[in-house]
Amino acid sequence: MHTAFFLLLGSSLTRFLMRHPGEPRTPWIIALSVSLALLYVLGPVIGARPTAPRRLAWLILVVAVWVVLVVLAPSFAWCAVPLFYTGLRTLPPRAALFLVAVLTAFVVVAQLQLAGSFDPNLLLAPPAWAAVATAVFLHMQRQAARQRELIDDLIRTRRELAATERREGTLAERQRLSMEIHDTLAQGLSSQQMLLQAADRLWDTDPAKARTHVRTAESITEHGLAEARRFVHDLAPADLADGGGVAQALRALAERESDAGLTVRFHVEGTPVPLPDRVSSALLRIAQGALANVREHADATTAALTLTLLDDQVVLDVADDGRGFTPPPAGADAPPDSPAGVRGHGLPAIRARAGQLGGTLTIESAPGEGAVLSVSIPLPNPQSNQQSNTQSNPWESQP
């Protein structure tokens, strides 16, 4: 549009000089043309906002210079075309329409004066063209406003979605941390507390057994420290670090948890096969949490860990001969008759770990009849994995 203005201004001045050489008004025409060109160049740098007073004063001055030029030389009338859009961009809608009407009237008068006789085309064409140009500009302006609103909505929605994802990620990470702490550090601290309390009671009557309890507590402390370090570095559980597999890790867990008050046995059924790291880690954490619940709530003397390896799934059963409880309804977190306070976090943690891998948790228990906790986690089909390495597994999508 700026280029069109200068082309029209230059062509109008050239036409005047060719048609009216040596006239007394020529210096004025040249001076006004140069002034109009300079004023138009200064337009973009005058006024910070389109409706600022300086911007409005600039537009009035440009139009005034152009009107004088049209009065002295009607051939400058077509320079009004770029001025239409300048006015539409600068003024409010009603004021801009009034300015377009005034400029169009000057164009019509100037063209009729140049023609020297009445011509219907010269009377109707400029208003029609001005009306079409104005309608197109206003329509494009409304479309641009809608696009800006849409972009603003999209940006706002994207920010809200990002904030929601951050909140969900934070909650998921907090849940993961709580499960890790409950199944490792909290369990170790609970075992240490019971061992040290037993050692304190036997210190005077049976010093040898008391020292055995202290040494066992020391061993648990060492293991808990290793778990804490690996937990900080987000590594696999310490029992899985030696590469022996989940069966060996569960056997070591059963031996470590066995003492005078609770005997833990481990049994594996099926052919041991390498399991995905996330499945092995989840099974070990589930076993740790389940045994912690048995030790703290069940008042049992015997517990059994059974790992069953099938073609399409792996099943971990944790059974005890304790006092039992009424299993919670589907979707509930803790047993209704479990102790209050910080207790009762084990079952929701176990259910969450199984659910993250597409597995299920089943509880069979009744008051006075012990309890059996069964976790089933599906395994990928080896043949389908060989056919498509890009097929996603339930545990690959977890953070």
Expressed in percent and rounded to 5, the helix, strand and coil fractions of the chain are 65, 10, 25
* DSSP 8-class letter at 227: H
Residue-wise DSSP of 98-127: HHHHHHHHHHHHHHHHHHSS--HHHHHHHH
Put the strands of the sheet holding 371-378 in their side by side order. 263-269, 302-309, 313-320, 371-378, 360-365
Say whether pLDDT at 266 is over 90. Answer: yes
Residues 287 and 256: beta-carbon distance below 8 Å: no
Residue with tokens 């041991």: 272
Question: For position 46, what pLDDT does the model report?
Answer: 60
SS3 call for 156: helix
Quickly count: other Cβ atoms within 10 Å of residue 36's Cβ: 23
Considering Cα of 286, then 291, then 292, then 297, what sign does the dihedral take? Answer: positive
- Give the pair of three-digit tokens for residue 129: 């063209």
Task: Give CA separation, 383 vs 210, 311, 344, in Å.
Answer: 55, 12, 41
Q: Are 39 and 65 in contact (CB under 8 A)?
A: yes
Average pLDDT over residues 336-361: 69
H-only helix segments in 258-376: 277-293, 346-356
Overall average pLDDT of the 375-379 stretch: 92
Tell me the one-letter amino acid at 198: A
Fold of 245-399: Heat Shock Protein 90 (3.30.565)
Question: Is residue 396 over pLDDT 90?
Answer: no
Q: Summarize the confidence of residues 161-180 as an average pLDDT.
A: 77
Unique residue bearing structure tokens 């003397």: 301
18: which 2 tokens?
């060719």
3-state secondary structure of 211: helix
pLDDT at 362: 92
Confidence band for 97, pLDDT divided at 50, 70 and 90: confident
What are φ and ψ of residue 184, in 5° steps?
-120, -75
Q: Kindly report each contact of residues 98-102 with a partner whose C-beta sits within 8 Å and lies 24 or more positions away, as own/partner.
A: 99/63, 100/130, 100/134, 101/130
Indicate the SS3 state at residue 20: coil
What is the average per-residue pLDDT within 310-337? Answer: 77
Q: How sure is the predictor about 389, in pLDDT bands with cuts at 50, 70 and 90?
A: very low
Q: How far is CA 135 from the centre of its chain?
A: 41
Confidence band for 381, pLDDT divided at 50, 70 and 90: low
CA separation for the pair 123, 279 (Å, rounded): 85
Angle at 179 between CA 280 and CA 321, to 5 degrees: 75
Higher pLDDT, 116 or 158: 158
Whether the predicted pLDDT of 257 surpasses 50: yes
Q: Are strands 302-309 and 263-269 parallel, antiparallel or unpaired?
A: parallel
Query: Average pLDDT of 315-319?
Result: 94
Tally of CB atoms within 10 A around 336: 11
3-state secondary structure of 237: coil
Q: 3-class DSSP state for residue 345?
A: coil
Report domain extents, the chain: 2-118, 245-399
Per-residue pLDDT, 343: 40
pLDDT at residue 235, as a whole number: 52
Two tokens, residue 277: 């790291």
Count the Cβ atoms, other than its own, within 10 Å of residue 83: 20
Mean pLDDT rounded to a whole number for the chain: 79
94 class by beta-carbon count within 10 Å (0-12 exposed, 13-18 middle, 19+ buried): exposed
- Short-list 324, 296, 313, 325, CA closest to 359: 313
pLDDT of res. 237: 66
Evaluate whether 12 touches 79 at the Cβ level (below 8 Å). yes
Nearest to 296 by CA among 341, 230, 265: 341
